[in-house]
Amino acid sequence: MSERHHFIKELEDLKLTILNMAALSRQALKNANTAYLERNDTLAQEVIDGDRKINALELEVDAKSLKLLALEQPMAKDLRVILGTMKISNELERIADQAVNIAERTLFLSQYPPLEPVASLERLMETTDQMIDLAINAFLDENADQAIKIRHMDDMADQYTLEILQAMILYMVKSTPATEKRILNTRRSIQTIIISRCLERAADLATNVGEHVAFIVKGINIKHQKVDFKE
């Protein structure tokens, strides 16, 4: 019996493509956050332009996966790696889409004076980035336990998102009655709420990546249910 060297090499290549995609998606979100915080239009535009490359990688993962499924008829963990990889690439592509969305809001917001800083927003940015980093490392190390850790962090991300929403509502309510300024404040607040929503979505997507990793490693689907691997 052959030891399927060729197949194993192609599977490794597929994983490398995912890691490449993960690095680009994570960087896109980091850059979008930096562009927002530093009001950097050039960087925001780079995020928007860079999305094409991530989309292309998603197509590449789909094509490679389809080929391996059709030609190699993988079983057991090999099969799970390919199915999991296809799903992870989809999540990563959507994380990058959230980065683009934040960059687009940034281009709008940077035309106007900054809002008062909201501490929760920077915390949300940090948490989301850490979750993506953990998810990527979970995939690299085939560590299913990380999925549970990422889930817990997602609860924090949800909390920060709520705090941002509350802060923005307060800001809109408190705004000066002068009509024109009030409209501007409201517009800026809403854009900021959208940014927080984007980050919160990215955190959800990172949670999904962790769940796909758990599926690859353990062969069980932990979506929509409580699981503790250490039980």
Type of residue numbered 15: K
| Mask for 72-101, x = binds another protein (CB under 8 A) | -xxxxxxxx---------------------
Q: For Cα atoms 214, 158, 100, give the angle at the middle one, nearest 5 degrees.
A: 85
| Mask for 3-32, x = binds another protein (CB under 8 A) | xx--x-------------------------
Stretch 169-228 residues interacting with another protein (CB under 8 A): 218-220
| Mask for 108-147, x = binds another protein (CB under 8 A) | ----------------------------------------
Q: Which of 137, 114, 106, 136 is nearest to 202 (CA)?
A: 136
Query: By C-beta, is 55 or 73 nearer to another protein?
Result: 73
* DSSP per-residue letters across 89-126: HHHHHHHHHHHHHHHHHHHHHTTSPPPPP-HHHHHHHH
1 binding another protein? (CB under 8 A):
yes
* Phi-psi category of residue 73: left, alpha or beta, with phi > 0 → left and psi -120 to 50 → alpha: left
Q: Which of 121, 124, 125, 167 is nearest to 32 (CA)?
A: 125
The phi and psi torsions of 53 (rounded to 5 degrees) equal -65, -40
Query: By C-beta, is 87 or 218 nearer to another protein?
Result: 218
CA–CA distance, 15 with 142 (Å, rounded to integer): 11
- How far apart are CB 4 and another protein at their closest, in Å? 4
- How far apart are CB 1 and another protein at their closest, in Å? 3
52 binding another protein? (CB under 8 A):
no
CA–CA distance, 198 with 178 (Å, rounded to integer): 30
- How far apart are CB 55 and another protein at their closest, in Å? 30
Number of residues this chain uses to bind another protein (CB under 8 A): 16
165 binding another protein? (CB under 8 A):
no
71 binding another protein? (CB under 8 A):
no
2 binding another protein? (CB under 8 A):
yes
Question: How many residues are present in the chain?
Answer: 231
* Interface contacts to another protein, rule CB under 8 A: 1-4, 7, 73-80, 218-220
